[in-house]
Amino acid sequence: MTYPVLPYYAANAATKLSLDIVGQAIYEFNGSNTDAIVSISKTSKINVLVDLKVSSLSDEIIESILKLYNNGVASVFATVEEGNEILSKIPNARITYKSNTLVNETDKSIALSSISVATEKASESVTSFVFALQGSSLDELKSITKLGYIPIVKSELLSNEYENIPSNVYPIVEFIIPSLVTDRADGLFTTLVVDSSNQCLGLVYSSIKSISESIKTQTGVYQSRKHGLWYKGATSGATQKLLSIDLDCDNDCLKVVVEQSGSGFCHLSTNSCFGNFNGLKSLESTLVSRKQDAPEGSYTKRLFDDEDLLNAKIKEEAEELTDAKTKEEIAWEAADLFYFALARCVKYGVSISDIEKNLDMKSLKVSRRKGDAKPKFIEKKAEAPKKVEAPKRVIGSGDKIHLNRVNAETATPEEVEACLERPIQKSADIMSLVTPIVENVKQNGDKALLELTAKFDKVQLESPVLKAPFSEDMMQISDKVKKAIDISFENIRIFHEAQNQKDILTVETSPGVYCSRFARPIEKVGCYIPGGTAVLPSTSLMLSVPALVAGCKEIIFASPPGKDGKLTPEVVYVAHKVGAKCIVVAGGAQAVAAMAYGTETIPKCDKIMGPGNQFVTAAKMLVANDSNALCAIDMPAGPSEVLVIADKFADPDFVASDLLSQAEHGIDSQVILLAVDMTDKEVDLIDEAVNRQALALPRVDIVRQCISHSTTIQIKTMEEAFEMSNRYAPEHLILQIEDAESWVPKVDNAGSVFVGALSPESCGDYSSGTNHTLPTYGYARMYSGVNTATFQKFITSQVVTKQGLSEIGCAVMDLAEVEGLDGHRNAVRVRMEKLGLLPEGY
Ligand SMILES: NC(=O)c1ccc[n+]([C@@H]2O[C@H](COP(=O)([O-])OP(=O)(O)OC[C@H]3O[C@@H](n4cnc5c(N)ncnc54)[C@H](O)[C@@H]3O)[C@@H](O)[C@H]2O)c1
Ligand SMILES: N[C@H](CO)Cc1c[nH]c[nH+]1
Ligand SMILES: [Zn+2]
């Protein structure tokens, strides 16, 4: 149902914005005012109809009608003959037929010509609009409304100068009165208030008087049942611009469309009486307010100020959306694209309702472009260089287990690089899996943790945490293992104690200026001990011993339970030895989230350390990026990897054993051998050793999968080998080469280096004293492995004496002046002034 009157604009009539509240208008089309009507259709929010007043339907006129349809005109009113001709020339036209026959010849004052709308289903044609003859009185026109018709009335007659209008009621209001019905005792009309996107703001009541006031002031005015006329926003400032008024299907409810300003519609300062908007609407209002006063340095401010950055992000996100495959991934990327696209809209004052209007207009188009993409976008794909991929291999159970082999001298650089690519899943894939897990734990704490453990670890636990003191029967281990742990513990302690900076470091940088740095432990630390494919008690040592050495107050362990719901006794023993406060009995992203946000039973940690699979690593990165979590992480430490540089003097058995010791960690681990200046025969010997040793390993199935994406690269010189290794930045680098120690200075990027034939990586994994929690995925380029400093923060302090102030005071003031920060300058100036140190001119 629409407003029960349709304003008619003659071709030369001035447009009256006050009539727009009707929500639609009909414009006389004389064949030469196409552009004027198109411009109204594109810029106004009303439904535009057109009355065809042309003498013939020339090709030119048909072309104009096509243009009107393509630019949002809802319907063209034509006689049956004209309409048929239009339909034959324009596809899917929206015609409304007008009849020249008077339907009520006895009534001399009102000439009615019936109008039927040609719909897709012609049988449903309606006759609800009627043209009113010029000179008809307001009462005559209103009576048409009572008959259930909507009169089409010249716009001038609806203006407020119309002679028969009672002083406080507008003609437009007069039309609505006969149509409105109410069954309420107080005679008011239920009124739904919405914004231009039809988002509900609240429910109110209207009276004839309030409707009249609303139209007169073009603002939101309602009828309060307690306080009479209610000019929305008169006291709060949250005023409304009236856009349109509609009646519902049975005329007893109004829909008032407004543009809300200020703090929102509700007296509780929310967008609507049902709370705040979310989704795109909420994003829009955030962006609008950021545009007005985004804090300096904020990302949104940067986006608004830097057009190139904003455009680049839109293109980047559009491309990522086209790459996305899963439902979650597509939603994720589309949300990013909407964010940046909306930022650009808001920057240029374009609102969501402008976009919706445009969509509606496009849906009305009758002729469409072919829809092909612009050549530059098609060519881009066609021209994109084909990515070289490492050969896909599957090592079956009967196959020989050996690494893929390439020769750097004969292969292309791209082929060699492809072999050095790590078998990682796309981070967007993982993130979309991990985000809901982390969110769930953040919201639902222990309950979520127990559910997720049941889901992923297949154990239903009673409690997600084990608190100290730990009972003896939970740490039943053999004396042999206890001794091994104790030896390893001590070596790790000694090496990490040596790293512990206990003294205050003080330097006099200029005479009288003393700068110091001292370490303090991070108070609460979370140690993640992996336990998916193998339980790694050694990792509990690598994390908790440095924490103990650094002096952390609370050490919290997390490790997934076994199928029996129990923790590994060795892990409990280490927890007991370092005085851990509790053990979170959970793994994966859920354990990370529990330590980052805390739950009813698990304390929130300040920093989370430890390796893990891709879910663990992704969750760590997610919480580290959430400023609400206020939780740091050590580094991204994912699937284990090793790169061995070997020469012809290396023992093939030693080389093979080092490759396999990391290959057995997991199917996503990778091992790389750089065989320097070795013949095919010499490499064959290593392959044979790999096969022989692998077949004897209990985890041979995991090894097969890891080795299938692992490569031996034959390379000519040692220099080239180190250059390649530095580019790969392995977690572990093993040097099985002659005079290995002399080559260590060539290492720029690696987590930990194992020098010489007798230094297997396993020693570092367990007992030598170095830490085995190391950066993977190439992060060794910029991250260190876990060390004592990982559990500390460093505080600096300074003492500036009178002499010191005279040394550096002017430099401070001069730089503060460059930055326009006079308060900074003044802090030095007042001191120097009082001390008589201020040079002339300051
Ligand atoms: N870089 C280092 O310093 C270092 C040290 C030790 C171990 N590692 C690596 O740590 C990794 C340990 O991985 P892991 O899997 O054995 O143990 P993990 O403890 O990291 O992960 C196991 C947990 O992952 C979760 N999980 C499993 N499948 C899931 C799914 N489909 N969706 C969501 N969550 C799921 C489960 O909750 C399970 O408890 C290995 O890759 C190993 O190489 C690295
Ligand atoms: N090599 C692993 C680090 O990447 C650590 C480890 C634990 N146990 C055996 N190995
Ligand atoms: Zn290992």
Is the residue at 178 inside a domain? no
- Residue 243 main-chain phi, psi, to 5 deg: -105, -45
- pLDDT attached to residue 109: 37
Rounded to whole angstroms, the Cα distance separating 73 from 363 reads 11
Q: Which candidate, 466, 822, 436, places its Cα nearest to that of 622?
A: 436
Q: Is 353 in the pocket of ligand 1 (CB under 6 A)?
A: no
* Cβ proximity of 731 and 783 under 8 Å: no
Amino acid type, 289: S
Give 751-778 pLDDT, tens digit per residue: 999 999 999 999 999 999 999 999 999 9
* Cβ proximity of 65 and 59 under 8 Å: no
Give the distance (Å) from ligand 2 centre to CA of residue 538: 8
Q: Is 620 in the pocket of ligand 1 (CB under 6 A)?
A: no
Question: Helix and strand tally (H, E) in the chain?
Answer: 26, 29
- Residue 301 main-chain phi, psi, to 5 deg: -60, -45
Cα 454-460-465 angle, rounded to 5 deg? 95
Q: Is 570 in the pocket of ligand 2 (CB under 6 A)?
A: no
Helix, strand, coil shares, percent, the chain, to 5 = 45, 20, 40
Task: Mark whether 576 and 432 lie in a shared domain.
Answer: yes
Rounded to whole angstroms, the Cα distance separating 709 from 641 reads 12
Listed residues 139, 173, 207: the one ending a domain: 173
Best of 456, 617, 622 for a ligand 1 pocket test (most atoms within 8 Å of beta carbon) = 456
Q: Is 731 in the pocket of ligand 1 (CB under 6 A)?
A: yes
* Cβ proximity of 281 and 197 under 8 Å: yes
Taking residues 499-513, report their average pLDDT.
96
Q: Which of 39-53, 201-215, 542-556, 608-622 has the highest mean pLDDT?
A: 542-556
Is the residue at 780 inside a domain? yes
Q: Is 666 in the pocket of ligand 1 (CB under 6 A)?
A: yes
Check pLDDT > 90 for residue 108. Answer: no
Ligand 1 atom closest to 434 (CA): 33
Task: Mark whether 237 and 123 lie in a shared domain.
Answer: no
Q: Return the structure tokens found at 683.
A: 């490499």
Task: Mark whether 193 and 163 lie in a shared domain.
Answer: no
Q: Out of 9-13, 158-162, 499-503, 596-600, pick the least confident.
A: 158-162
Ligand 2 atom closest to 534 (CA): 8
Cα 47-48-53 angle, rounded to 5 deg? 155
Is the residue at 512 inside a domain? yes
* Cβ proximity of 219 and 239 under 8 Å: yes
Give the distance (Å) from ligand 2 centre to CA of residue 755: 18
Task: Mark whether 305 and 284 lie in a shared domain.
Answer: yes
* DSSP of 88-123: HHSTT--EEEEEEEES-TT-SS---EEEEE--SSGG
Give the distance (Å) from ligand 2 centre to CA of residue 772: 6
The SS3 call for residue 396 is coil
Q: Is 640 in the pocket of ligand 2 (CB under 6 A)?
A: yes
* Cβ proximity of 642 and 659 under 8 Å: yes
The SS3 call for residue 821 is coil
State the pLDDT confidence band at 427, using cuts at 50, 70 and 90.
low
Q: Out of 214-223, 438-447, 716-725, 797-806, pick the least confident.
A: 214-223
Check pLDDT > 90 for residue 679. Answer: yes
Q: Is 357 in the pocket of ligand 1 (CB under 6 A)?
A: no
Best of 485, 488, 528, 538 for a ligand 2 pocket test (most atoms within 8 Å of beta carbon) = 538
Q: Return the structure tokens found at 7.
A: 């304003």
Listed residues 173, 208, 240: the one ending a domain: 173
Q: Out of 3-17, 97-111, 386-400, pick the least confident.
A: 97-111
* Cβ proximity of 708 and 393 under 8 Å: yes
Ligand 1 atom closest to 774 (CA): 3
Q: Is 539 in the pocket of ligand 2 (CB under 6 A)?
A: yes
Give the distance (Å) from ligand 3 centre to CA of residue 668: 13
Check pLDDT > 90 for residue 106. Answer: no
Q: Which residue has the higher pLDDT, 389 or 494?
A: 494
Q: Out of 38-42, 153-157, 400-404, 496-500, pick the least confident.
A: 153-157
Task: Mark whether 564 and 662 lie in a shared domain.
Answer: no
Taking residues 436-458, report their average pLDDT.
96
Q: Is 429 in the pocket of ligand 1 (CB under 6 A)?
A: no
Buried b (16+ CB within 10 A) or exposed e, 66-102: bebbbbbbbbbbbeeebbebbeeebeebbbbbbeeee
Give the distance (Å) from ligand 2 centre to CA of residue 488: 14
Task: Mark whether 720 and 763 lie in a shared domain.
Answer: yes
Task: Mark whether 240 and 312 lie in a shared domain.
Answer: no
Q: Which residues are catalytic?
A: 731-732
- pLDDT attached to residue 812: 98
Buried b (16+ CB within 10 A) or exposed e, 317-335: bbebbeebeeebbbebbee
Give 631-661 pLDDT, tens digit per residue: 999 988 888 999 999 999 999 999 999 999 9
| Residue range of the domain that includes 679 | 404-421+638-784
Is the residue at 832 inside a domain? no
Tell me the ligand closest to 430's alpha carbon. 1
- pLDDT attached to residue 118: 45
Q: Is 772 in the pocket of ligand 2 (CB under 6 A)?
A: yes
Ligand 2 atom closest to 641 (CA): 4
Q: Is 220 in the pocket of ligand 1 (CB under 6 A)?
A: no
Check pLDDT > 70 for residue 583. Answer: yes
- pLDDT attached to residue 131: 64
DSSP state of 790: G
Contacts 24+ apart (CB under 8 A), 413-419: 414/388, 415/388, 415/390, 416/713, 416/724, 417/388, 418/387, 418/388, 418/389, 418/390, 419/390, 419/672, 419/711, 419/713
In a 10 Å sphere around its CB, with 0-12 CB exposed, 13-18 middle and 19+ buried, how is residue 190 labelled? middle
* Cβ proximity of 611 and 623 under 8 Å: no
Q: Which candidate, 757, 762, 733, places its Cα nearest to that of 746?
A: 733
Q: Out of 119-128, 415-424, 527-536, 651-660, pick the least confident.
A: 119-128
Q: Is 538 in the pocket of ligand 2 (CB under 6 A)?
A: yes
Best of 485, 539, 752 for a ligand 2 pocket test (most atoms within 8 Å of beta carbon) = 539
Give the distance (Å) from ligand 2 centre to CA of residue 518: 32
Tell me the ligand closest to 777's alpha carbon. 1
Task: Mark whether 530 and 584 lie in a shared domain.
Answer: yes
CATH code of the domain containing 731: 3.40.50.1980
How many C-alpha atoms does 16 have within 13 Å on its Cβ side?
Answer: 23
Residues around the ion ligand 3 (C-beta < 5 A): 765
Taking residues 539-565, report their average pLDDT.
97
Give the distance (Å) from ligand 3 centre to CA of residue 471: 29
Residue of minimum CA distance from atom 15 in ligand 1:
532
Rounded to whole angstroms, the Cα distance separating 525 from 788 reads 12
Task: Mark whether 111 and 234 lie in a shared domain.
Answer: no
Q: Return the structure tokens found at 32.
A: 């030469």
Is the residue at 387 inside a domain? no
Taking residues 110-126, report their average pLDDT.
43
Q: Which candidate, 86, 42, 41, places its Cα nearest to that of 65?
A: 86
- pLDDT attached to residue 169: 56
- pLDDT attached to residue 732: 98
Summary mean pLDDT of the chain? 89
Task: Mark whether 644 and 773 lie in a shared domain.
Answer: yes
State the pLDDT confidence band at 381, using cuts at 50, 70 and 90.
low
Q: Which residue has the higher pLDDT, 200 or 263?
A: 200
Tokens 């009288």, residue located? 512
Is the residue at 181 inside a domain? no
Give the distance (Å) from ligand 3 centre to CA of residue 786: 15
Element (H, E) at 222: strand 221-224
Ligand 1 atom closest to 560 (CA): 39
Task: Mark whether 351 and 496 lie in a shared domain.
Answer: no
Q: Return the structure tokens found at 812.
A: 């401070």
Is the residue at 819 inside a domain? no
- pLDDT attached to residue 105: 41
CATH code of the domain containing 224: 3.10.20.810
Amino acid type, 147: L
Give the distance (Å) from ligand 2 centre to CA of residue 636: 15
Residue of minimum CA distance from atom 6 in ligand 1:
611
How many residues are there in the chain? Answer: 842
Q: Please, what sign has the CA dihedral across residues 126, 129, 132, 138? A: positive
State the pLDDT confidence band at 822, using cuts at 50, 70 and 90.
very high
* DSSP of 666-726: -TT-EEEEEEET--HHHHHHHHHHHHHHHHTSTTHHHHHHHHHT-EEEEES-HHHHHHHHH
- Strands 150-154, 6-9: pairing is parallel
Is the residue at 769 inside a domain? yes
- pLDDT attached to residue 392: 79
Listed residues 784, 803, 837: the one ending a domain: 784
Task: Mark whether 505 and 452 lie in a shared domain.
Answer: yes
Domain tally, the chain: 5
Q: Is 284 in the pocket of ligand 2 (CB under 6 A)?
A: no
Q: Which of 55-64, 222-231, 382-391, 474-483 has the highest mean pLDDT?
A: 474-483
